[in-house]
Amino acid sequence: MKDGLTTNAPSGRLLVILGRKADPEPRLVRALTGPDTPFVLARDATNLSASAVTVLDEKSLTAPITNLSELPPGDYFAQALLISNPDLRSANAPGNLFSDVNKVHLDPAVPQTVGLKLARQIPLEKLPKDTEMIRYLKVPSPLLSKFYGHPMYLRAGIILPRDYDRETTRKYPLWVRIGGFGARYSSVKSTMSQPDFRRTWLADDTPRMILLQLDGAGPLGDPYQVNSANSGPYGDALTQELIPFVEKTFRAIGEPRARVLSGLSTGGWVSLALQVFYPDYFNGTWTFCPDPVDFRAFELVNIYEDDNAYVNQFGFERPSERTVKGDVSLTMRREVQSENILGTGDSWTMSGGQWCAWNATYSPRGADGKAAVLWDPQTGKIDHAVAEQWKKMDLRLVMENNWKTLGPKLRGKLHISVGEADNYFLNNAVHLLDDFLSHADPPYEGRIIYGPGKGHGWMDITPAQMMKEMEAATKAP
């Protein structure tokens, strides 16, 4: 297959996606795992010109098959995509080039060349329009700009409380909200469009506060909002740049007692991490089904003791996802293979996906200037020297090693829940954290709640209940 480029193009990751349907376009299919996943070919492309021809064939990396020769004969909708935006590692990032969708019949037994032209471009970024209660921000970040060597920005969505424009002297607590993996700041629009949330937010008995939705997009995928050797000082940028700007601009109280956090999944880990790493800055976290909070249960991998991420101690392929009934729906090898497809250098550690974001956040920087690799992309063999470096991001270990000083600062601030049938086995790590916190001295005086038979995304309380607990926490003594 050939991709004839007809426009100037930068370097990046070049994909050809073979979907079974034209709508949505193959390039917009988010998951490269599951029964309906498209077939994808990929390779790196460097300094492309308008007249260049780049070939993707049986030598290219492929998924979910291991070679193009395994492609089932049939009709496909083919589309090429060049992932090239250096600051937002996403298939749909502004500036990325793509082709039209081309319906083709393919049979590996029949030699054939399909031409796809990267003639279209995703439009440059434009903030959504503000509304009466919703604001969108793109704030310059000197800290991130210094780290990356070029201008970088912090994006955020704001939901204002009812009567904000009428009560012009009133100041409000700040609720910092982090969504699931890759959740964008613009999700505040869909949040306010949900009838239950909107009804709750506007109700007479709902506490008045400002909701700050953080952005889950960065140069290596979701930046996880903490200081990282590879993604940069996102934690300091949040606490020293974005939050002070928001509090000043939107009449927030601007005191530690009036800042609270919540998050689910990726946001669950982030909300807990921000509370742990900035214990004097925030006054409580409501954390739901967090990403692994103890790396002895990094999903089902013990990164300190296991030798291989893909194969367990019994010699079987290790699951990475299950149904609430316990059926395996995805393996580690298959999931990471899908990220190898997206990653520069055929590596999941440069994909911008879930496993890439974890590795970028937790790993030290390697000699090549990229994040040190926790395990080999092809074999899954774990590098235990790198695993040792992850300990500074292992939240249970950080708390346990520093509880003498952290304990009093976190007293009553931790509210955690998880389903016992979490689809990604995240309950295992929460139990390990619970083993420590339940015996911690001084007592942590928070709560950890488990949902029997509940899967990923389960919450032990409603948003209305959570906001009332937040209000109680933020009231002045």
Parallel, antiparallel or unpaired: strands 210-214 and 227-228: unpaired
Rounded to whole angstroms, the Cα distance separating 363 from 360 reads: 6
Rounded to whole angstroms, the Cα distance separating 6 from 120 reads: 10
Strand, helix or coil at 281? coil
Report pTM. Answer: 0.95
- pLDDT above 70 covers a percentage of the chain that reads 97
Return the residue matching tokens 């073979």: 18
User: What integer pLDDT is reported at residue 47 of this predicted model?
Assistant: 83
Distance of CA 408 to CAs 202, 442, 446, Å? Answer: 35, 7, 12
Rounded to whole angstroms, the Cα distance separating 214 from 185 reads: 5
List the structure tokens of 242: 């974005």
Rounded to whole angstroms, the Cα distance separating 185 from 225 reads: 13
**Beta bridge partner(s), residue 262:** 177, 286
Among residues 163, 212, 209, the alpha carbon closest in space to that of 191 is found at 212
CA neighbours within 13 Å on the CB side: how many for 228?
A: 31
| Enclosing H/E stretch for 3 | strand 2-4
**Beta bridge partner(s), residue 157:** 136, 213
- Give the rounded distance of the alpha carbon of 285 from its chain centre: 18
Rounded to whole angstroms, the Cα distance separating 417 from 447 reads: 8
* CB-CB contact of 181 with 266 (8 Å): yes
User: What integer pLDDT is reported at residue 3 of this predicted model?
Assistant: 35
Residues lower than pLDDT 50 in the chain: 1-7
